Amino acid sequence: MKCYVCAREGRSSDAVAICIVCGMGLCREHAIREELEMWEGGYPFPAKRAKAKIPRTLCPECYNALYGK
Protein backbone atom coordinates (compact mmCIF):
# COMPACT_ATOMS: atom_id res chain seq x y z
CA MET A 1 0.00 0.00 0.00
CA LYS A 2 1.14 3.54 -0.71
CA CYS A 3 0.80 6.62 1.45
CA TYR A 4 -2.35 8.41 0.36
CA VAL A 5 -1.14 11.85 1.42
CA CYS A 6 2.10 11.48 -0.54
CA ALA A 7 0.22 10.14 -3.55
CA ARG A 8 -1.95 13.22 -3.54
CA GLU A 9 1.19 15.37 -3.60
CA GLY A 10 2.54 13.41 -6.52
CA ARG A 11 5.07 11.43 -4.47
CA SER A 12 5.19 7.73 -3.83
CA SER A 13 5.97 6.40 -0.38
CA ASP A 14 5.25 3.01 1.07
CA ALA A 15 2.67 3.08 3.82
CA VAL A 16 3.85 1.95 7.24
CA ALA A 17 0.55 2.53 9.03
CA ILE A 18 -3.15 2.88 8.41
CA CYS A 19 -5.45 5.56 9.76
CA ILE A 20 -7.92 3.80 12.05
CA VAL A 21 -10.68 6.25 11.18
CA CYS A 22 -10.70 6.44 7.39
CA GLY A 23 -8.36 3.54 6.58
CA MET A 24 -5.99 5.42 4.33
CA GLY A 25 -2.39 4.27 4.10
CA LEU A 26 0.22 6.53 5.67
CA CYS A 27 3.98 6.74 5.49
CA ARG A 28 6.05 7.37 8.60
CA GLU A 29 6.09 11.06 7.85
CA HIS A 30 2.32 11.40 7.70
CA ALA A 31 1.17 8.93 10.33
CA ILE A 32 0.13 10.66 13.54
CA ARG A 33 0.30 8.44 16.58
CA GLU A 34 -1.97 9.19 19.45
CA GLU A 35 -1.86 7.50 22.81
CA LEU A 36 -4.88 8.87 24.57
CA GLU A 37 -6.66 6.98 27.26
CA MET A 38 -10.11 7.63 25.98
CA TRP A 39 -11.75 9.10 22.97
CA GLU A 40 -14.80 11.24 22.77
CA GLY A 41 -17.91 10.29 20.87
CA GLY A 42 -17.62 9.10 17.34
CA TYR A 43 -15.03 6.48 18.05
CA PRO A 44 -15.44 3.96 15.25
CA PHE A 45 -15.07 0.83 17.35
CA PRO A 46 -17.57 -0.30 19.96
CA ALA A 47 -14.83 -0.40 22.55
CA LYS A 48 -15.29 0.45 26.15
CA ARG A 49 -12.69 2.45 27.95
CA ALA A 50 -9.44 0.60 27.72
CA LYS A 51 -7.39 -0.08 30.80
CA ALA A 52 -4.12 0.64 29.09
CA LYS A 53 -3.27 3.31 26.62
CA ILE A 54 -3.66 2.04 23.12
CA PRO A 55 -1.59 3.58 20.36
CA ARG A 56 -3.75 4.76 17.52
CA THR A 57 -2.68 5.98 14.16
CA LEU A 58 -4.43 8.84 12.44
CA CYS A 59 -3.97 10.61 9.15
CA PRO A 60 -3.51 14.39 9.22
CA GLU A 61 -7.07 14.96 8.01
CA CYS A 62 -8.71 12.84 10.68
CA TYR A 63 -6.40 14.29 13.30
CA ASN A 64 -7.52 17.77 12.37
CA ALA A 65 -11.16 16.69 12.33
CA LEU A 66 -10.87 15.24 15.82
CA TYR A 67 -8.47 17.64 17.48
CA GLY A 68 -8.62 20.43 14.96
CA LYS A 69 -7.68 23.97 15.64
**Which chain residues interact with Zn ion by CB under 5 A?**
3, 5-6, 13, 19, 21-22, 27, 29-30, 59, 62
Does residue 47 sit in helix, strand or coil? coil
Which CB atom, from 11 or from 53, has the smaller least distance to Zn ion?
Answer: 11
Which CB atom, from 38 or from 65, has the smaller least distance to Zn ion?
Answer: 65
Which CB atom, from 1 or from 38, has the smaller least distance to Zn ion?
Answer: 1
Residue 51 C-beta: closest distance to Zn ion, Å:
25
Closest CA to 57 of 26, 38, 30, 33: 33
